[in-house]
């Protein structure tokens, strides 16, 4: 008997589906904040730590090359469980033994690749279960899970990991990363497309190539690959507190608890905005207005309160942008898509890409022209990308749903 269409199938609550992304958030918080602290405590230099961190999170960009496997042979729930366990094992092992730096790098790259596949599995799985009008709600909860779990891992998990015996810290890490999988038991998991799974591998890749020719996919990729709303400036703000005469405690406050509160607040705003504005122009609008905010803060005095205002504002805009990006990804996937995990992983890779290359440009601006240079570069390239796409894609931006036919 064929599976019931998504509109007829009994679904779990949207919030529960979104919170499955918490494993990815916790792994991210561990990789970019806690692990560098562990390495610094044993004398690893800052430059070496930065290189290790960049290598560890690199699967976020290239994991999509292997993502088609997530849509064949096994249910996406099976893949999510498998890669979730691998993620937890890699992180727990690193917490238990992180004295060999090369070993840490290898194990954590494998772990981050696993969590990228985990996110692709659950993103494709959840995205194929919902109706069109639920895209922004699922996007909201996906980003809430990402931000909230990362913050909890940094604030609470970091204290446990940094101040507990290694075996206890490792067990804590393993259990924490597996907890979101409890939700799997309450969410239906349709089997993979039988035709794609049973026919030739060549036919499967032809389906993937056809997917990449769809107009809605190409438009989403254009929005994400260009630096329209990456807000990569958030990644360097913690390092420029001195420019605002902000103390280390002030920086830590806003980088920890402050960023979580601001990020969650921004995420919850998106469904309200999406009722008034289609997702694609909303995404560009967030990038444009957020960039004007960035430029405007240069008019404020260099004071600690200004640092808090800048940090909070940038985090809110980034949370808005990421939540809308998730919603666009879920909209493009659509109900019962046999290539949902492949498409979701590809779109997430596109979202992550400009954060990296924009960061290099912002660094150049900071090095050569100080705070003003970094902020102008960050805002300027975003405004330029938004204007370019607004002109180029004006025919389709305000469509409620982009038809998936080929260009």
Closest CA to 332 of 353, 350, 354, 355: 350
Q: Looking up tokens 């959840």, which residue turns up?
A: 126
Q: Is 406 a domain residue?
A: no
270 domain-assigned? yes
Determine, yes or no, domain membership for 368.
yes
Q: In this predicted model, what pLDDT tens digit does every residue of 50-66 receive, in sequence order?
A: 678 878 888 888 888 88
- Structural domain contains residue 3: no
Predicted confidence (pLDDT) per residue in 276-327, tens digit: 888 899 999 999 999 999 999 999 999 989 988 988 898 889 889 999 999 9
Instruction: Centre a 10 Å sphere on the Cβ of residue 158 and count the other Cβ atoms it contains.
Output: 18
* H-type alpha helices, 45-100: 46-57, 59-62, 76-96
Residue 8 lies in a domain: no
**pTM for the structure as a whole:** 0.81
Evaluate whether residue 400 is within a structural domain.
no
Say what angle helices 304-333 and 101-127 make with each other, to 10 degrees: 50
Residue 407 in this model has a pLDDT that exceeds 60: no
Q: Is residue 4 part of a domain?
A: no
Q: In whole angstroms, how large is the CA radius of gyration of the chain?
A: 21
Handedness of CA 28, 32, 34, 39 (dihedral sign): positive
Q: What does the mean pLDDT of the chain come to?
A: 85
The predicted-structure confidence for 348-383, as pLDDT tens digits, reads as follows 888 888 887 887 788 788 878 888 988 999 899 999
Q: Which of 35-49, 180-194, 263-277 has the lowest mean pLDDT?
A: 35-49
For CA atoms 197, 203, 209, 214, the dihedral sign is negative
> Average of pLDDT values for 175-195?
88
Number of domains in the chain: 1
3-state helix, strand, coil in the chain (%, to 5): 80, 0, 20
- Identify the CATH number of the domain in which residue 378 sits: 1.20.1250.20
Q: Which domain holds residue 167?
A: 14-392
8 A C-beta contact, residue 357 and residue 381: no
pLDDT of the residue at 406: 45
Nearest alpha-carbon partner for 18 in 265, 273, 258, 327:
327
User: Could you report the per-residue pLDDT of 76-117, keeping only the tens digit for each?
Assistant: 999 999 999 999 999 999 999 988 989 999 999 999 999 999
User: pLDDT confidence of 2, banded at 50, 70, 90?
Assistant: very low
The token duo for 284 is: 């560009």
For 75, phi then psi, to 5°, come to -65, 155
**Residue 397 lies inside a defined structural domain of this protein:** no
């Amino acid at each position: 008997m064929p599976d019931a269409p998504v509109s007829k199938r009994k679904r779990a609550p949207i919030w529960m589906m979104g919170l499955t992304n918490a494993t990815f958030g916790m792994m991210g918080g561990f990789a970019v904040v806690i692990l560098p602290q562990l390495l610094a405590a044993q004398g690893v230099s800052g430059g070496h730590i930065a290189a290790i961190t960049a290598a560890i999170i690199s699967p976020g960009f290239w994991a999509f090359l292997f993502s088609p496997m997530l849509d064949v042979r096994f249910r996406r729930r099976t893949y999510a469980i498998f890669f979730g366990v691998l993620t937890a094992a890699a992180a727990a092992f690193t917490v238990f033994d992180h004295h060999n730096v090369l070993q840490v790098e290898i194990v954590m790259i494998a772990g981050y690749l696993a969590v990228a596949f985990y996110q692709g599995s659950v993103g494709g799985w959840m995205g194929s279960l919902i109706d069109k009008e639920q895209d922004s709600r699922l996007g909201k909860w996906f980003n809430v899970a990402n931000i909230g779990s990362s913050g909890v891992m940094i604030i609470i998990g970091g204290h446990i990991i940094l101040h507990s015996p290694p075996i206890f810290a490792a067990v804590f890490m393993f259990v924490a990363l597996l907890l979101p999988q409890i939700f799997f038991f309450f969410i239906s998991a349709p089997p993979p497309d039988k035709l794609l799974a049973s026919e030739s591998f060549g036919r499967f890749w032809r389906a993937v190539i056809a997917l990449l020719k769809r107009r809605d996919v190409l438009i989403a990729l254009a929005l994400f690959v260009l630096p329209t709303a990456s807000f990569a400036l958030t990644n360097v703000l913690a390092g420029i507190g001195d420019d605002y005469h902000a103390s280390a405690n002030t920086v830590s406050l806003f980088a920890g608890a402050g960023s979580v509160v601001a990020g969650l607040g921004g995420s919850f705003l998106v469904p309200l905005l999406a009722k008034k504005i289609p997702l694609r122009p909303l995404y560009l609008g967030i990038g444009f207005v957020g960039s004007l905010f960035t430029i405007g803060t240069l008019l404020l005095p260099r004071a600690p309160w200004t640092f808090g205002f800048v940090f909070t504002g940038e985090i809110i805009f980034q949370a808005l942008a990421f939540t809308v990006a998730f919603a666009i990804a879920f909209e493009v996937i659509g109900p019962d898509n046999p290539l949902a995990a492949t498409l979701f992983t590809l779109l997430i890779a596109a979202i992550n890409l400009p954060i990296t290359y924009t960061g290099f440009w912002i660094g150049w601006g900071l090095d050569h022209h100080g705070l003003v240079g970094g902020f102008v570069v960050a805002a300027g390239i975003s405004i330029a990308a938004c204007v370019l796409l607004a002109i180029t894609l004006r025919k389709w931006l305000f469509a409620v749903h982009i038809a998936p036919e080929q260009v």
